[in-house]
Chains A and B, each alone.
Chain A
Amino acid sequence: KQEVTQIPAALSVPEGENLVLNCSFTDSAIYNLQWFRQDPGKGLTSLLLIQSSQREQTSGRLNASLDKSSGRSTLYIAASQPGDSATYLCAVTVDKIIFGKGTRLHILP
C-alpha cells in the first residue's frame, strides 16, 4: 500500500532563507509526483509536476527533485518570502492520487 510522508510537519524560517521540504513514498511504481500549495481555507494550487522519468522541475524560485529508486522528493524554495507561508502538500499518482499530510510553512518577516 502506497504511503506518503512529509517531514517536517511544520517549519518556521526567517525571510530570505533558502529551505527544503521533504517527501517520501513507499512504492516507487508511480506515474508522477506533484507538489501543491494550500492557503488557509482555500483549495489546492499545483506548483510542480514531475513525471516518473524526470529528475527535477523548476518554476521560478521553486525546484522539485525526484529520486524514484529511494522513494524521495524534495521541494527547494529559494530566497523565501512571507507570501510563501502556506501548507505544502506532496502527492504521488499511481492510478489514484495519494497525499502526504503536508508541511505548514511560516516565513518570519
Chain B
Amino acid sequence: DAGVIQSPRHEVTEMGQEVTLRCKPISGHNSLFWYRQTMMRGLELLIYFNNNVPIDDSGMPEDRFSAKMPNASFSTLKIQPSEPRDSAVYFCASSLKGATEAFFGQGTRLTVV
C-alpha cells in the first residue's frame, strides 16, 4: 500500500477563497483523522470518522471548516472562506479502529495570503 495520500502538498490561496484538501486513507482502515499543526498549538485534532461517519467534530474551529467522507477511500476538508489564520500544515491519518497503529500522510502546507 502507498500509505495515506494527501493532496495537494502545498497550497497558496488568497483570503476569502475556498480551499479543499484531500485524503486517501490506507485501504482497509476504518478510522480517519484530520489534524492541523501550527508552531503555537502543535497538532490539533479537527475531526475524525469511523466507518465514514463523523464521530467527533468538536475540534473544527469554525463553521468555515467542513469535512466529508463520501466513501471508505476518500475524504475532504474544506475551508470556505479561507483566512490568513488558517495557514498551517494539515495532516490526515488513518487506522483500524481501536488499538492499532495510526499512519499519517505527508501533510498539506496551506498558506492564505
Residues of A within 8 A of B (CB): 31-32, 34, 36, 42-46, 49, 51-52, 89, 91, 93, 95-102
Contact present for B45 and A93 (CB under 8 Å): no
Query: For residue B50, which residue of chain A has the nearest CB?
Result: A95
Stretch among B22-30, B63-71, B75-83, B100-108 lining the A interface:
B100-108
When A43-B104, A43-B106, A43-B107 are in contact, do A97 and B45 touch as well, CB less than 8 Å? yes
Residues of B within 8 A of A (CB): 33, 35, 42-43, 45, 48, 50, 55-56, 91, 93, 95, 97-107
Query: For residue A98, which residue of chain B has the nearest CB?
Result: B45
The DSSP consensus for interface residues of chain A is strand
Task: Kindly list chain B residues whose C-beta atoms are within 8 Å of the C-beta of A97.
Answer: 33, 45, 48, 93, 95, 102
16 contacts between A and B (CB under 8 A): A42-B107, A43-B106, A46-B101, A46-B102, A46-B103, A46-B104, A49-B101, A95-B48, A95-B56, A96-B33, A97-B93, A97-B95, A97-B102, A99-B42, A99-B43, A101-B42
B90 to chain A, nearest CB (A): 11
Q: What would 11 more interface pairs be, CB under 8 Å, given A44-B91, A49-B100?
A: A36-B104, A43-B91, A43-B106, A43-B107, A44-B104, A46-B102, A97-B95, A98-B45, A99-B35, A99-B43, A102-B42
| Residue from A32, A43, A89, A93 having most chain B Cβ neighbours under 10 A | A43
Task: Give the complex CA separation of A89 and B35 in angstroms.
Answer: 14
